[in-house]
A and B are shown apart, each in its own frame.
Chain A
Amino acid sequence: GAVVSQHPSRVICKSGTSVKIECRSLDFQATTMFWYRQFPKQSLMLMATSNEGSKATYEQGVEKDKFLINHASLTLSTLTVTSAHPEDSSFYICSARDQRGTQETQYFGPGTRLLVL
C-alpha cells in the first residue's frame, strides 16, 4: 500500500527558532499534499494544501508567513514553522493523495510532535 513518511517524528526546540518538517510519499507521486494540526485530545484541523510547483493554499486563520510550505517535488513537501512559540506546540500530520486512480483516499504520515519550550 501507499506509504507516507514524516521526519522528524519528534522535535523539541526553543522559542524563536524555526523548525522544518518533511513529508514524503515513498512509493507514489503526489501533486497534492495536505498539512494538518492536531492539539491534544482534539481532532485534526486542515492547515494548508501543498501543491507541487505552485503556492500552497492556506485555510482561514492560518498564517502563511508563519507556516511556510514548499512542495519541491512530486514526493516531498516541507512545512517550516518559523519563529516558533509555545502555542505552536502540536502534532503535525501530513497526507498525500496518490495521483493515480481516483484520488479518493488520502494516505497519512505518522505525524511529527513539536514541543516549543
Chain B
Amino acid sequence: SQQGEEDPQALSIQEGENATMNCSYKTSINNLQWYRQNSGRGLVHLILIRSNEREKHSGRLRVTLDTSKKSSSLLITASRAADTASYFCATDAPGGGADGLTFGKGTHLIIQP
C-alpha cells in the first residue's frame, strides 16, 4: 500500500538555491531511500538511510530521518538546472530482501536557470 507522502508536491526554485523535500510514512521501516526520476525515464537511486541513522550526506545531498516522527527530508544544496526531476522517497519494511518498496507520491522539482 502507498504509505509515503512527500511535500511539497511541486517545488520551483532558482538555480543555486537549496531545495528541501519532505517525506512521511506510516509503518515501521528497515530503511528509507530517495530516488530521482527524469520525465518518462527510469529511477536513479540517490541515497539510502537506515532506520538507526539520523543523517546522511552524499555530495550535494543531505538526508535526515526521524523515526519518531516517521519522516525524512532530502536537501539538495546549490541546485542546478540538471536537478530538475521528480523525487520519490521509498520505504523498505522490516522483513529483509523479500519485500518491494513502498513509494511516496513524489515531489516535482523545477530548477529555473
Residues of A in contact with B (beta carbons under 8 Å apart): 32, 34, 36, 42-46, 49, 59-60, 91, 93, 95, 97, 99, 103-111, 113
Q: Pick the contact of B100: A36, A91, A104, A110 (CB < 8 A).
A: A36
Q: Can you list 18 A-B contacts with CB-CB less than 8 angstroms, sorted by A residue number? A: A34-B100, A36-B100, A43-B103, A43-B104, A43-B105, A44-B90, A46-B100, A49-B98, A49-B99, A59-B100, A93-B42, A95-B101, A99-B97, A103-B97, A104-B31, A108-B42, A108-B43, A110-B42
Would you call the interface of chain A mostly helix, strand, loop, or mixed? strand
Residues of B in contact with A (beta carbons under 8 Å apart): 1-2, 4, 30-31, 33, 35, 40-43, 45, 48, 50, 88, 90, 92, 96-106
Q: Pick the contact of B106: A34, A43, A59, A110 (CB < 8 A).
A: A43
CA distance A44 to B50 in the complex (A): 21
Q: Pick the contact of A32: B30, B42, B92, B98 (CB < 8 A).
A: B98
Q: Which residues of chain B are near A108, meaning CB under 8 Å?
A: 35, 42-43, 45
Q: How many A-B residue contacts, CB cutoff 8 Å?
A: 63
